[in-house]
Structure 1
Amino acid sequence: MAGDGTIGKACDVLEQVAAFERPVRFGELLESSAFPKATLYRFLQSLTNQGMLHYEPERQTYSPGMRLVRLAHSAWTQSSLAPIARPYLDALSQETGETVHLAQLDSGQVLYVDKRNAQRPIEMYSEAGKVGPAYCTGVGKAMMAHLDEAQLKKTISQQSFHRFTDKTLASEEALRADLELIRSRGYAVDDEEHEPGIICISCPILTTGGRMLGALSVTGSTGRMDFEQLESWVPRVRRVAEQIGTEAQAWRFPEGQQNRMQAT
C-alpha cells in the first residue's frame, strides 16, 4: 500500500478494524498494526471524524461507521452481482437443497457476495462478505480459468499457495493444469482442497462476449454425497450462471460500457 500514500494507509486501518468483526479497543489494534502509536491514533481520529469509524466512549472501542455502511450498501447494489442473482440463487437453493455461493474476484481473492445455506446446513468457512483464497476454491478457480493471461498472471502472483489440506493445489504448475481442465469441461471442482469434507462444483458467470463477472457454486459434504451426485447439478448450475450473466450484462455490466472504460 506504500504507493497509495495516506489513502492507502487509511484503508489499511479500516480493514484492520473490520477484520475483528466486533468493536475493538485501541490497544488491540496497536498490537497488530504496522503503524506507530501516534500514527495509528491519528488515522483512527480522522476516520472517526469522517464517519468511516464509530467510537464508543464508554467502552473505548472502534467499529465501522454509518458512512462506511452507506458506502458499502451502495457498492453492493451498484457493483455486486448479488441483487441481480438473488432470485436465481433462491430457486437453485430450493431445487438442490444444498449450499449455494455467489462470488466475485477482489484483488486476487474470492469475495463471497451472497450465500444460501443448505436445507441441512454444514459448517464451512464461507459467508457473504468474507474473503477466501482463489487457488483452492471452486468459485475461485472457475473465475481464474476465464481471465486473460495478463490478468491471470497477476492473480496467480497474489496467491499464497498455503496447503490447507493434503489435496490443496500448492503450486502454480498444478493450478494452471487444473485451470486448463476447467476451461475444457466448463466447470470447476473443489475436492476438499480448502476444507476437509467440503466439496463443490462451480460455473463461471460470463457475458456473451466471454468477460468474467463472477462464479456460482453448489457445495456439499462428503458425509452425505459424492462427486457423482454433486456433478449431476452441473447442467443446472451452468444454465443459472448463463442467466445471471445475461441479465447482468444487459443491466449493469454492458460490454459497450466496459470497452469505453478500457479506452479511457
Structure 2
Amino acid sequence: MLTTIQKAAQIMNLLQKQGNLTLTEISRLTNNNHSSVYRLLQSLQEVGYVTKRGRRYDFSWQAIGDQQATHLLNWTTNAILTPVVKKYHLVAYVGIIQGGESVIADVVPRPGHAEEDMARLGERLPVNISALGKCAVAFTSSDDRQRLYNLLDFRGGTKHAISDLTAFRQSIRVIQKNGYAIDDEETQLGLRCVSVPLLDDRGKCVAVLALSGELADFPRTSFIKVRDDLLRCREQIMQEMN
C-alpha cells in the first residue's frame, strides 16, 4: 500500500507530465480514491505545489519552494551552461518567480569568480527591472501575468528601468515576439543580462536561463549570439528533463 508521501509524489509526477486535470481524472490515473486524492490536493495547494483553476488542477512550477523543480534544474543546467559561461566569460543564472519577484535559484559562476558570482544566489528583484523577471512574465500564463502586473509598484532599479505599466506591457509584447529578454543596466549600472525562457512540453515557462556580465565583457553586438547559445542550452536541458 502506498504511503501518503508516495501518493502525493504520484500526483505531482502526473501533473508535471500532463496537468490541467480534474479530481476524477487524477483519481483514475493514479488509481486512488476521490477522498484521499482530494485531501492530498488541498494540502499540495496550501504549500504551493499545485494550483487550481475552476475544476482543474495543475503543477506549480513557479514556486521557488518547489524543491523537485529546483533539483531537476540544478543538476541539468550546470553541466550544460558551463561551456557558454567559459565561452563568453559571463555568469549564468537560473531564475524562478516567487511572490511577484524574480529569484536567482541557481548560479553557474565564471572561472575564478566563484565567490563573487555565488553571492547573488537567492537574490530577489522586482520583475520589471531584471531580464529574468521580464522573461518569466512574458512566457507565463495570461492569468499569472495579470496577477504579476497587479503586484508591480515600479520601485527600485536604475534610471534605465521601466517605470510604468504601459511601458512594461509593451516590453512584454516585444519579448514575446523576440523570444528573449534584456536587462541593459536596468538592475545595476554597468551590468547587462540576456535571458530566455525554459518551457515545458505545454509551452509553459518553468524557469529562465540567463547570462550576465559587465559592459566591457558583454557588448550589445553579442546579444544575439548569446541568445542563440542560450536557446541551444535550453533545448539540451528540455531533452534531459524529458
Q: TM-score, normalised by structure 1?
A: 0.60
For 1:179, the equivalent position in structure 2 comes to 172
Cα pair distance change 1:124/1:84, threshold 3 Å? closer
Which of residues 84, 88, 95 is equivalent to 1:92?
84
Pairwise CA distance, 1:107:
1.7
The answer to whether residue 201 in structure 2 is matched with residue 201 in structure 1 is no
Give the aligned CA root-mean-square deviation in angstroms.
2.3
The whole-number CA distance in structure 2 between the counterparts of 1:119 and 1:85 is 16
What is the aligned-residue identity percentage? Answer: 21
Distance 1:108 1:245 in 2: 25
Q: Which residue of 2 aligns with 1:4?
A: none
Q: Is the 8 A contact 1:103 1:114 kept in 2?
A: yes
Structure 2 vs 1, CA of residues 179 and 194 (structure 1 numbering), >3 Å: closer, same or farther? Answer: same
Which residue of 132, 140, 150 maps to 2:143? 150
Residue matched to 1:79: 69
Which string of whole-angstrom CA distances, capped at 9 and with x for unpartnered residues, describes residues 18-77 of structure 1? xxxxxxxxxxxxxxxxxxxxxxxxxxxxxxxxxxxxxxxxxxxxxxxxxxxxxxxxx675
Q: 2:163 is matched by which residue type in structure 1?
A: A
> What is the distance in 1 between the residues matched to 2:118 and 2:111?
17
In structure 1, the partner of 2:48 is none
Flag the 1:86–1:77 CA change in 2: closer, same or farther, 3 A. farther
Matched, 1:221 2:211: no
SS in 1 for 2:212: strand
CA separation of 1:145/1:168 partners in 2, compared to 1, >3 Å: closer, same or farther?
A: same
Pairwise CA distance, 1:93:
1.6
For structure 2, the 5+ residue unaligned runs are 1-64
Deviation at 1:230, TM superposition (A): 3.5
The structure, 1 or 2, with the larger RCO (C-alpha pairs under 8 Å, 6+ apart) is: 2
Secondary structure, aligned partner of 1:214 = strand
Take 1:82 and 1:209, find their aligned partners in 2: how far apart are those partners? Answer: 21
Distance 2:234 2:194 in 1: 12
- In the other structure, the counterpart of 2:4 is none
- For the structure 1 residues 152 and 138, does the alpha-carbon distance in structure 2 shift closer, same or farther, using more than 3 Å as the test? same
1:94-148 Cα distance to aligned partner (Å, 9 max, x none): 2322111111111221111111223475968971222222111111111110122
Count residues with an aligned counterpart.
175
For residues 155 and 126 of structure 1, the distance between their equivalents in structure 2, rounded to whole angstroms, comes to: 26
Q: 1:86 to 1:119 in 2, by over 3 A?
A: closer
Give the Cα–Cα distance (whole angstroms) in 1 for the partners of residues 208 and 159 of structure 2. Answer: 25
Distance in 2, matches of 1:175 and 1:191, equals: 15
TM superposition shift of 1:192: 0.6
CA–CA distance in structure 2, aligned partners of residues 192 and 124 of structure 1: 17
- Matched with 1:161 is 154
The structure whose Rg is larger is 1
- Separation of aligned partners in 1, 2:96 and 2:89: 23
Q: Tell me by how many angstroms 1:224 deviates.
A: 3.7
Partner amino acid, structure 2, of 1:176: R
Q: Matches of 1:124 and 1:173 in 2, distance apart?
A: 33
Equivalent residues of 1:76, 1:82 under 8 A apart: no
Change (3 A) 1:169 1:226: same
Which digits, 9 at most, give the CA deviation of each residue in 1:190-249, with x for residues without a partner? Answer: 01111001111110000132011010111121134421124321111011123223433x
